[in-house]
């Protein structure tokens, strides 16, 4: 059975959602849905999405600046059928915004799985901008080893890119759905508390992006270097360090 689409959509919990939303827009993402109060929005990249959620309204006790891994799928019933065919215990749960899937086998991993919103009552939909987003969303998943998260990613249809560096492995789907990068952390860390960070890939020249970030008030934006390639480094409004790498051709 082929995996349905599971588009990467990490949740960033912010104590200032409008500033975080503006920052992501400056990076090149496009807002597609937002709440009336601006305490929640979904932004789309060329591949992958990000949800910005007020940390004050968080029902999960998330701290400001915390990111949690989540995916969106077009149809919850199809996703449940697929996950069940893999032997997983998946249940659909209703919430005010729509439905999500609880996969008991992944409970300790904190991997969210939402059905894409169908009822936009209380929310605003935004038109696609004239210019397509040039940014890929990268969810960086820190874990003590690759085995457990790789199993989950493969179940969601993500396959590894050719290896780039020790302790770092990116995964993508055939259709652009965002990028998940596994990053090893020390064995002394609690594997149940594995963390998630945000990163990006862009087709835009890094110098142009730094200039635009400076113009928008992100004065610490600068060029850096990782494994011989130029990247952009900047601190986001929630105080988290963000890396923007060149997108693969």
Partner 1 sequence: MLTGGARKQQFNVYLPPELVVRIKHLAVDEGRSLSAVVETALAEYLAKKKEGAE
Residues found near partner 1 in the complex (CB under 8 A): 11, 37, 40, 51, 53, 57, 59-62, 68, 70, 91, 93-97, 100, 102, 107, 110, 112, 114, 119, 121-123
Query: Which C-beta is closer to partner 1: that of 156 or that of 234?
Result: 156
Tallying the residues shown for the chain, one arrives at 249
Q: How far is the CB of 144 from partner 1 (least distance, A)?
A: 21
Residues pairing with 35 in the sheet: 123
Query: Which C-beta is closer to partner 1: that of 40 or that of 158?
Result: 40
Q: How far is the CB of 11 from partner 1 (least distance, A)?
A: 5
Query: Which C-beta is closer to partner 1: that of 121 or that of 175?
Result: 121
Query: Which C-beta is closer to partner 1: that of 91 or that of 219?
Result: 91
Q: How far is the CB of 87 from partner 1 (least distance, A)?
A: 21
CB 230 within 8 A of CB 243: no
Collapsing DSSP states into helix, strand and coil, what is residue 230?
Answer: strand
Q: How far is the CB of 67 from partner 1 (least distance, A)?
A: 11
Query: Which C-beta is closer to partner 1: that of 95 or that of 207?
Result: 95
| Vertex 138: Cα angle to 2 and 102 (nearest 5) | 50
The Cα 136–Cα 148 span in angstroms is 24
Query: Which C-beta is closer to partner 1: that of 59 or that of 165?
Result: 59
Q: How far is the CB of 66 from partner 1 (least distance, A)?
A: 10
**Cβ contacts of 144-149, under 8 Å, gap ≥ 24:** 144/184, 144/185, 144/186, 144/187, 144/189, 144/191, 144/194, 145/184, 145/191, 146/182, 146/184, 148/109, 148/191, 149/109, 149/182, 149/194
Query: Which C-beta is closer to partner 1: that of 96 or that of 166?
Result: 96
Closest CA to 181 of 219, 242, 151, 137: 137
CB 10 within 8 A of CB 68: yes
3-state SS, 1-49, equals CCCCCCEECCEEEECCHHHHHHHHHHHCCEEEEEECCCCEEEEECCECE
Q: How far is the CB of 170 from partner 1 (least distance, A)?
A: 23
């Amino acid at each position: 059975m082929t995996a349905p689409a599971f588009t990467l959509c990490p949740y960033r919990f912010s104590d200032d959602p409008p500033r975080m939303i503006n920052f992501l827009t400056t990076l090149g993402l496009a807002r597609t849905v937002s709440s009336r109060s601006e305490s929640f929005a979904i932004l789309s990249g060329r591949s992958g999405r990000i949800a910005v959620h007020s940390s004050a309204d968080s029902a999960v006790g998330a701290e400001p600046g915390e990111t949690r891994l989540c995916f969106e799928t077009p149809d919850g019933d199809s996703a449940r059928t697929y996950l069940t065919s893999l032997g997983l215990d998946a249940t659909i749960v209703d919430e005010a915004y729509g439905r999500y899937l609880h996969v008991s086998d992944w409970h300790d991993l904190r991997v969210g799985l939402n059905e894409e919103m169908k009822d936009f009552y209380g929310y605003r939909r935004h038109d696609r901008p004239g210019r397509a987003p040039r940014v890929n969303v990268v969810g960086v998943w820190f874990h003590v080893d690759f085995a457990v998260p790789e199993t989950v990613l493969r179940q969601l249809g993500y396959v590894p890119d050719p290896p780039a560096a020790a302790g770092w492995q990116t995964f993508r789907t055939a259709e652009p759905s965002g990028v998940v990068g596994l990053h090893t952390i020390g064995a002394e860390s609690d594997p149940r508390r594995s963390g998630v960070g945000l990163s990006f890939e862009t087709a835009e020249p890094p110098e142009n992006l730094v200039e635009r970030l400076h113009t928008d008030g992100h004065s610490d934006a600068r060029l850096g270097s990782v494994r011989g390639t130029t990247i952009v480094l900047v601190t986001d409004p929630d105080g988290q360090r963000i890396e923007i790498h060149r997108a693969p051709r």
